[in-house]
Amino acid sequence: MAEITGKDLIVKWAPTAGGTIDLSGDYRTLSYKPSIGMANATAGSDAFESYIATVKDTQVSLTAVSQSAGTATEDALIEGTFGTLTIQPEGTAAGKRKYTIPAYALGANFDWKYNDTVELKVDFQGSGTRTVGTN
């Protein structure tokens, strides 16, 4: 089986207010974290915990290099901004994985370091049905 690297990753953020921000060229790390809620169903004389799966959730974290005069990117990531996050780990080739996630941006965060590259960090909270498909 062939391994992949992150070099072909495409990440786009499309706020509902309009426009699409391409975060691909500047990203350093992207963490995609799907999860599911669990309700404890243990009762009576059960000797082990028992659970029922409830609702799914999605969280995404992005770290990128901040660009000079990058106000459009920062403005598109203001906390509470709703939009669609699209992640294509192997680029846009047909048949490759594609995630489409309705989400809220939780705000652009920055690490300003003396004599070093400034990093932008943003978390996205999924809100609605994510689509896991292909290009």
Mean confidence (pLDDT) of the chain: 94
C-alpha count within 13 angstroms, C-beta hemisphere, residue 120: 24
* 69 in any annotated domain: yes
Query: For residue range 40-52, what is the model confidence (pLDDT) as tens digits?
Result: 999 999 999 999 9
Q: Does the pLDDT at position 33 exceed 90?
A: yes
Residue of 109, 6, 122, 135 lying closest to 61 (CA atoms) = 122
For position 78, which CATH number holds?
A: 2.40.10
In a domain, 2, yes or no: no
Residue 65's contacts (CB-CB under 8 Å, 6 or more residues apart) are 26, 27, 28, 117, 118, 119, 120
Within-domain flag for 14: yes
The residue range of the domain holding 121 is 8-37+53-131
What is the β-pairing status of strands 51-65 and 97-105?
unpaired
* C-alpha angle 27-32-37 in degrees, rounded to nearest 5: 155
Q: What average pLDDT does range 105-133 have in this prediction?
A: 95
Q: Look at residue 47 and tell me if it is in a domain.
A: no
45 domain-assigned: no
> pLDDT for 82-108, tens place per residue?
999 999 999 999 999 999 999 999 999
Task: Count up the domains in the chain and report the number.
Answer: 1
